[in-house]
Structure 1
Amino acid sequence: MTRPRALLADDEPHLLRVLQDRLHELWPELEIVATVQHGLAAAEQIERLQPDIAFLDIQMPGLTGLEVAQGIEGATRVVFVTAYDEHALNAFEHEAVDYVLKPVRAERLQLTVDRLRRALASRPGAPWPAGDEGGVPVHSLQADATQLAKLLAQLMPSATPVQPTLRHLRASHGSSTHIIPVEDILYLQSDEKYTLVRTAAHEYLIRSSIMELASQLDPQRFWQVHRGTLINVDHLLSTRRDDNARLLLRMRGHERELPVSRAYVHLFKAM
Structure 2
Amino acid sequence: MFNTIIIDDELPARLHLKKLLSHFSKDIKVIAEAQSGSEARDLINTLQPDLVFLDIEMPGLTGFQLLEKLQHMPLIVFCTAYDQYSLQAFETNSVDYLVKPVRLERLQKTIEKTKRFNPSTNNTHKILDLVRELTEKKEEKEMVSLAVKKDDKLIFIKLEDITYFEADERYVLVHSPKGKFLTEQSLAKLELRLPNYFLRIHRSIIINTKYVEEIQKYFNSRYTIKLNNKGVVQITSGRSYLQAIKNWIEM
Q: TM-score, normalised by structure 1?
A: 0.46
Normalization by structure 2: what TM-score?
0.50
More helix as a share of residues: 2
